[in-house]
A and B are shown apart, each in its own frame.
Chain A
Amino acid sequence: MTVASGGPPLDRLCALVKRESLGGAYALLTFEHEEVSRALAGQFAMIQPEISGDLLLRRPFSIMDVDSATGRFTIFLKAVGAGSKAVFDLRAGERARVLGPLGHGFSLPAASERVVMVGGGYGVAPFALFSRVLKPSPPFHLFYGGRSAAELPLVRELERRGIPLTLSTDDGTRGEKGRVTGPLVPALSVGEGTVRLYACGPEAMMHAVAGIAAEREIPCEVSLDPWMGCGIGTCLGCVVKIQEPGEGRPRNRPACTEGPVFDSRRVIWPQGGPA
């Protein structure tokens, strides 16, 4: 089961109060939005600059951090196309339309469980907030992977927060060389207590982690990342195939309202194969 929403979503025109470049296409953006500042880990917001020209739809971004005392929240953004670039280009003081908090976040582990988080690319963002929720217990560890050292722009921020990290890069320029699942697998069998896995990142990575979890019968949640139109379940653009235990066949479920976090055993992956 996923945890309940951190309060009803609200649509607000709100100011970008802080922008910190992390080099390349990456930045941390902090907005003022009271409701989103109460978001739970794994929830997201739909964001678009106040002046968005011919760009129609907002884009979804995970909540990386919140400060309910000041009513602020932060996202970790990678500019990949026109919509994310428009948000990336916002300057402090400019305004954006922000609708959130949306979706169901990660479910909380039992006190006896050991939490293992796997983040790839911008998918690492929700684990910054989740780590704060987990502190001081149960124990947790974050595996953070990317293509190269330049694609791990959040490392310093995560270290600053004292999150235990294992890094990996496809080209070996930082941490262990290869996929994030390389160091993950051996780590699952050392340490006390039963493990609970959480994954967010590229689909291939989440599919692999789900497979690893299934083999070892480890509970695992994945935060899926389909193309979203509205964030509130009306456009039905972001559906994912989910097999519920009581149902005869998988159904198309909107990831925005029924996810984006799902129990990995329920997900029917487009790649097929066991998960």
Chain B
Amino acid sequence: MTPDDPAAAPSLGVRIGALTLKNPLLAASGTCGYGLEIAHLVDLSTLGGIVTKGLYLAARDGCEVPRIAETPAGLLNAIGLQGIGIRAFVESVLPRLQAHNTAVIVNVCGETIEEYAEVARLASQAPGVHALEINISCPNVKTGGIAFGTDPVMTHDVVAAVRRASRLPVIPKLSPNVTDITVFARACEEAGADAVSCVNTFLGLAIDVESRKPKLAFGTGGLSGPAIRPLAVRMTWQAARAVKIPIIGIGGIAAANDALEFLIAGATAVQVGTLNFSRPNIYAEIEAGLRDYLTRHDLKNIQALSGTLQYPR
């Protein structure tokens, strides 16, 4: 068999509950707009899917500027979930997205459990939405967001409400700003989640020493990028051992090896976030790296890699 024999090509396809992805690479919420914004730079059909910017029922203005500050190997942001709202997304974006042949995952937000459920219901009725990611972990809004993701009872209740409102795969996105992430992963599983995304940004603070003020207008912000990768890999590994549902690993992925770390730690798929900003076409490079790895390690498909960490070493 020659290496380019299609029969020999390792498979990158993965399953997350009822959701089938052609490869495990997703663009993370808040880092690819609603997909269309990056379509002239990335062939969306080469991605497993995209996760939209967080959507509430209504449009939102978000925080004041400055909203972003670069930190070592990281980005601190407080955007505050500026967005067009679920109805505008369904009416004006979704029809155009469908032509791009990629899975569309809606990042569902709410200030109340009822709002989460209603956004989920509207998203589920629209043709072309493949799954829901529940954002219970945004650190940059005054109501809702992280408040839901740092209390296991509230986490359970939001996930259960969305579960009742939708037949699509439901994927809560965990906050890393907790002592024991396994408690939250289990709460999600018990409430009927199909998978969990792991993780959102870490609460951080950057200070302008001259003015002695926070660098961001909101004050604190969420830290992302390679700086958080070992933390996110550790949490992915912990969550994967605590629940049976699949994990989507997120945090500082900048190369194929980074994605591999998450997969080996127990993730079934991964999301690339901050790196979309500086390397919009990074997916081709990561995908090639994954294929090369599978070939070198004689693996027929990428799912076989998930959770193969040998620990302790």
Partner-B contacts on A (CB < 8 A): 8-11, 48, 54-58, 83, 97, 99, 226-227, 229-230, 232-240, 251-252, 257
Contact = CB atoms under 8 A, between A and B. Distances in A.
Contacts of A235: 30-31, 68, 77, 79, 277
Given A10-B41, A57-B278, A234-B32, 18 more contacts: A54-B72, A56-B75, A56-B274, A56-B275, A57-B75, A58-B277, A83-B70, A97-B278, A226-B65, A227-B66, A227-B67, A229-B75, A229-B277, A232-B38, A233-B37, A235-B77, A236-B62, A239-B82
A97 B74 CA distance: 19
Nearest to B66: A227
A205 B40 CA distance: 35
B280 interface: yes
B208 to A, nearest CB: 12
B228 to A, nearest CB: 12
B281 A11 contact: yes
Chain B binding surface SS class: loop
Interface string B44-72: 00000000010000000110011111101
Interface of B: 30-33, 37-38, 40-41, 53, 61-62, 65-70, 72-75, 77, 79, 82, 225-226, 274-281
Contacts of B65: 226-227, 237-240
Contacts of B53: 236
A257 B281 CA distance: 19
A239 B67 contact: yes
Nearest to A249: B61
6 contacts: A55-B70, A56-B75, A56-B226, A56-B274, A227-B65, A227-B69
Contact of A237 (B32, B68, B225, B280): B68
Given A227-B65, A234-B32, A236-B79, A9 B72 contact: no
A56 B254 CA distance: 10
A239 B60 CA distance: 13
Contact of A230 (B226, B276, B281): B276
Given A11-B41, A230-B276, A252-B82, A236 B72 contact: no
B23 to A, nearest CB: 21
B89 to A, nearest CB: 15
Contacts of B69: 227
A19 to B, nearest CB: 22
Contacts of A257: 37
B258 to A, nearest CB: 14
Contacts of B68: 227, 229, 235, 237
Sorted from nearest, which 10 A-B pairs have the closest CB atoms? Answer: A237-B68, A230-B277, A54-B73, A234-B33, A237-B67, A229-B68, A233-B37, A236-B79, A54-B72, A234-B37
